[in-house]
Structure 1
Amino acid sequence: MINFDGELISDSSSYLNAENSLFARGDGLVEVVRVVQGKVVFWEDHYLRLMASMRILRMEIPMNFTMEFLEEELKRTIRESGLTDKAVVGRFYVFPRNTKVSGDTDRSVSYLIQLKTLSSPFYLHEDSPYEVDLYKDFYVQAGMLSTLPIVSRVLENTGSVYARENGYADCILLNDLKNVVQTLKGNLFLAVNNKIKTPPLADGCQNNVLRKKVIELIEKSQEYDIEEASISPFELQKADELFIAEISSGIRSVTRYRRTEFKKEVAVNFLGKLNAAARFS
């Protein structure tokens, strides 16, 4: 089922029209959360990110948009869909209500909750090959706007077509300064010896909750140091490991980039830590 402004409707229902800002202009946000047996993983972090993103895009935050209200709406949708005992991904869309002109200053919002079941309540490490390449047809714009969970995914969609056509599992995105930003699927981390490096928010990578949690886990570890700094494409082949953090699957190892094959030990290590953190969040 889908929750549209508190009304539960079937997945096949017609609930958007041509004047809807989400459809007509891609003017909206989507926060992706993981829910395991009724518990929203890292919910406070997701809520604060959504509220901050709404403020940046000058959306009007309703008085009832408390952390408790939105959590209950998500859980109610899960209960009514018969998925309480399942692991699911909830996609929480927030967008301005129907407006007839793009310059309308009315930024009152609607919300929509969509669900997708997961195969496991745990983050799992996939051992299958995962080869990537650079995607250079289009570039991410460095800056704050690119860090937000904006609905529009034209770059990611065209990049996915390129990946499929060329036999890659994923592609690495660059910004307009030709620095590495992330992959089509999630945030990228590069491990060399005892240092782990990830692009800074200023370069335009997604400022999502799992990126924050992985950085926190690295900071708490005694084995590795974390550095948020720009990454040149030339650094990729010098790494011991490349891994991706994504809210649905957790941590995924890149196995090959061009002629370089990578290890998996660091990714597996932090995946275990991430599962523990999710359990007690």
Structure 2
Amino acid sequence: MINFNGDIIGQDENILTQNRAFLYGDGVFETLKVINGKILFLEDHYFRLMASMRVVRMEIPMNFTMEYFEEQILDLIKKKGISASARARITVFRNDGGLYLPKTNLVSYLIHATSLENTSYVVNIAPYEVDLYKDFYVTKQLLSSIKTTNKLINVTGSIFANENSLDNCILINDSKNVVEMLQGNLFLVTGKKLITPPISEGCLNGVMRKQILALAKKTEGIEVLEEIISPFDLQKADELFLTNVITGIQSVTKYRKKEFTNAMAHLLVQKLNESISEN
């Protein structure tokens, strides 16, 4: 079952015939993690969703409050019988009508949810190998920083990773600088420096990225930098990891011939779990 504009309907009901998110990628979305009836980082997700709608000139309905979405998400999870941890996705799309030029800027939304195993974040220490994906580039523009339903680079990159027995790929921009990974923001560690690309390089303005930057800045002994990363910098790093709201932190063990440690990832996951339990 899914939540379609506030109504719980069967997931097999056809609502795609004229759906603009399906036809043109005319939609934005947020993926959230829910633990024991609490949506993590709800305010950050909500304001990013509203900002994304403004960027693509969607009309924001008066009832689209943070409290409204919280109620809709938790109600769906309850009705699906998910009790501990869940992954929920809100997709907002412009209403039917028009070709490239829409007939309206009014919107509809879908929410669907699935259960997750872990109620806290953990560092996966299993082998995790990545490489560059160079078939297509991320552009340095505002659209790259929001979550739209046009994710063909991530789709084709995931196919490339699968075909080459990789766990993930690193995306680069049209200046050949490192942007992010297929499923999250990228951080590297060199000595005591924690470095991630700035949003201006075309990376997603990630919710977990924001949490990790804030936690690291409050941790003694870590120098936090947002600066351009070249592919050559990856091979000089001590540690490499990706972040997203569902996984938390995923350590990379190998990039080409370079192998990495994961000490800072363990430290930041510990602080992340502590911050969640305190709130």
TM-score (norm 1): 0.97
Among 219, 223, 226, the residue aligned to 1:225: 223
Structure 1 residue 105 displacement after superposition: 5.0
Which residue does 1:201 correspond to in 2?
A: 199
- CA-to-aligned-CA distance 1:196-249 (integer Å, 9 cap, x gap): 100000001110210100000111111201111110000000000001101111
Partner of 2:246: 248
Q: Mapping of 1:92-107 within 5 angstroms?
A: 92-104=90-102, 106-107=104-105
CA distance, structure 2, for counterparts of residue 36 and residue 11 of structure 1: 23
Q: Distance in 1 between matches of 2:234 and 2:196?
A: 11
Quote the Cα distance in structure 2 between the aligned partners of 1:222 and 1:10.
50
**Secondary structure of 1:8's aligned partner:** strand
Aligned to 2:104, what secondary structure does the other structure show? coil
Alignment match, 1:4: 4
Aligned to 1:33: 32
Residue aligning to 2:60? 61
After TM superposition, the structure 1 = structure 2 runs for residues 1-281 of structure 1, keeping only pairs within 5 Å, are: 1-17=1-17, 19-83=18-82, 85-104=83-102, 106-281=104-279
Contact 2:20-2:96 at 8 Å conserved across structures: yes
Residue type at the aligned position of 2:161: A
Shift in Å, 1:176: 0.6
DSSP-derived class of the 2:58 partner: coil
Amino acid at match of 2:8: L
Offset from partner CA, 1:137-183 (integer Å, 9 cap, x none):
00001121100011111101111111111111000000011000001
Equivalent-residue separation in structure 2 for 1:279 and 1:10 (angstroms): 35
State, as a whole percentage, how many aligned pairs show the same letter.
Answer: 45
CA distance in 1, matches of 2:2, 2:102: 27
1:259 aligned partner, one-letter code: K
SS, match of residue 114 in structure 2:
strand
C-alpha contact 1:241 1:262 (8 A) present in aligned 2: yes
Task: Check whether the contact 2:207–2:244 (CA below 8 A) recurs between aligned residues.
Answer: no
Once structures 1 and 2 are overlaid, which stretch shifts more, 8-17 or 38-47?
8-17
Report the alpha carbon displacement of residue 277 of structure 1 after superposing the two structures with TM. Answer: 1.9
After TM superposition, where is structure 1 displaced by more than 3 Å over at least 4 residues in a row?
none
Deviation of 1:15 after TM superposition, in Å, equals 2.2
Alpha-carbon separation, structure 2, partners of 1:104 and 1:252: 39
The TM-score with structure 2 as length reference comes to 0.98
Count of residues in correspondence between the two structures: 279
* Whole-angstrom CA distance in 1 between matches of 2:248 and 2:81: 24
CA contact (8 A) 2:209 2:243 kept: yes
CA distances 1:66-100 after superposition (whole Å, capped 9, x unpaired): 111111011111111111x2200100101101113
Aligned equivalents of 1:115 and 1:51: distance in 2? 20
Distance in 1, matches of 2:277 and 2:93, equals: 31
Deviation, 1:270, is 0.2
Contact kept? 1:195, 1:226, Cα under 8 Å: yes
Q: Cα deviation per residue 1:8-48 (whole Å; 9 max; x = unaligned)?
A: 0122222221x211110011011011001110011111111
Tell me the SS of whatever aligns to 1:104. Answer: coil
1:6 and 1:210 map into 2 onto residues whose CA distance is 27
RMSD: 1.0
Please list every run of 5 or more consecutive structure 1 residues that lacks an aligned counterpart in the other structure. none
Distance in structure 2 (CA, Å) of the matches to 1:237 and 1:97: 47
In 1, Cα distance between equivalents of 2:277 and 2:95: 36
Determine the C-alpha separation between the residues in 2 that align with 1:81 and 1:87.
12
Distance in 1 (alpha carbons) for counterparts of 2:177 and 2:148: 21
Contact 2:184–2:206 under 8 Å retained in 1: no
Q: Secondary structure at the match of 1:191?
A: strand
